[in-house]
Structures are given as C-alpha cells and as structure tokens.
Amino acid sequence: YFNEVIFADTRKVLSKKNFDVLILVDGGSLVQFYDTHKTVDNAPDLSIYDMRVHIDHHLDNGQKLGTYILKDAEVSSTAKLILEKIIPKDFIDEKLATLAYAAILWDTGNFTWHFNDGTLEIANFLLTKGADFQFLINKIFSSFPKLHLEMLALAINNIEYNDQLKTIFLFLPYQKLQQEKINEEKFSA
C-alpha cells in the first residue's frame, strides 16, 4: 500500500477533514504525528474529526488523542496490540506477517528491550505465517548508507563513559561540528 502514502506536511493534511475516521497509531502525544523538524508551530486541530481512533502501547501521558482508544503499555509494540485485538489471525498472510514482524522488531530493538513471552508467541505465529525475517533483519539492522555509518563512527569515537554513573555521554562541541563539517543532514543520518 505504499502508493497510498501521502508525503506531505502532516500539519496541512490533518488540518483539513479529508476523511471520516482518523486513526493514529503508535504515538503517545500529538507532536509525534506532525512535522516538527520544520517548525513546532501550527499543531493540527484533531477535533475536526468526530471519529478518532488512537492505538498505542506507550505509557499514558494524559493527552487524549482519540475518541476511541485502544492502549496497553504492557505490550511490547502497537503491532502486537493490533494483532491481538483487531486483525483476525486467519486474515494474516505472508505480506501482513512480514509487516507485523517488522513493527515488532522495530519496537523491541530486535528483541532487546520491552518484550515478554507474549511478544515471542506472536512473533512465532508470524513466522509460521511466512514472515520474511531474514529480509527484515538485513533491511532494518544491517543495511545502512555510508553517511549513517560515518556518523555512527563519529559518535562512537567521541563518547565518554562515566564509571561512577555507568553512563555514556556524547560530547560534540560546536567547534568539533564545524571541523567535521557536520550539517543538519549529516546529523540526522
């Protein structure tokens, strides 16, 4: 369904009532649903949508985005919540299984945080439905553009570990950024 994705400033898209139901997925606050990299101004007014469905797994921050809310901070990913509560298991084919598995991989950092036996059970189910996990691992965690790797190397070479706090700090002074010719494009890579 990539041909249905609208690439535009979401503040403009969401500010005009172009559809009857607005579904907000996998974001705990309004700011996650509009383009803040350009400006934080002009947040969309979602109240123009009488029916708003908010599906999420993040901790509640008190911001009510939906008129209908499906939220559970105990699940590892919004995809798991959707698979358990909305999509019938017999509806899942290889393509949906792969997409759902990708969402779970992303939200759990390839099963390194916030997952439990329920996460593994749903992942196993998706694998039995034909999820192409090898493609996803390669695409999500092993295929990086050169610029991304260069910026990762810069970050690794400039971190400092504090033994007392058991914490890593990344210091990139303005002079260092200028010296390395780091602009906004490189920084966001």
Tens-place pLDDT, residues 121-175? 999 999 999 999 888 888 777 777 888 888 888 888 888 888 888 888 888 788 8
Name the least confident of 73-82, 159-168, 177-186: 177-186
What pTM, to 2 d.p., does this model score? Answer: 0.70
pLDDT of residue 36: 67
Cα distance between residue 86 and residue 101, in whole Å? 16
What pLDDT does 94 receive? 94
Cβ neighbours for 169, distance < 8 A, ≥ 6 positions apart: 159, 160, 161, 162
Write the pLDDT tens digit of every residue in 100-124.
999 998 888 888 888 888 899 999 9
The band of 55, judged by pLDDT with boundaries at 50, 70 and 90, is very high
| Residue 2 confidence (pLDDT) | 62
- DSSP 8-state symbol, 61: -
| pLDDT at position 38 | 63
The C-alpha angle with vertex 149 and arms to 147 and 155, in degrees rounded to 5, equals: 105
- Give SS3 for 40: coil
pLDDT in the model for residue 39: 63
pLDDT of 3: 72
- Three-state SS for 63-125 is CCCCCEEEECCCCCCHHHHHHHHCCCHHHCCHHHHHHHHHHHHHHHCCCCCCCCHHHHHHHHH
Q: Per-residue pLDDT averaged across 23-39, rounded? A: 79
**Which DSSP letter does residue 144 get?**
-
Confidence of residue 95 (pLDDT cuts 50, 70, 90): very high
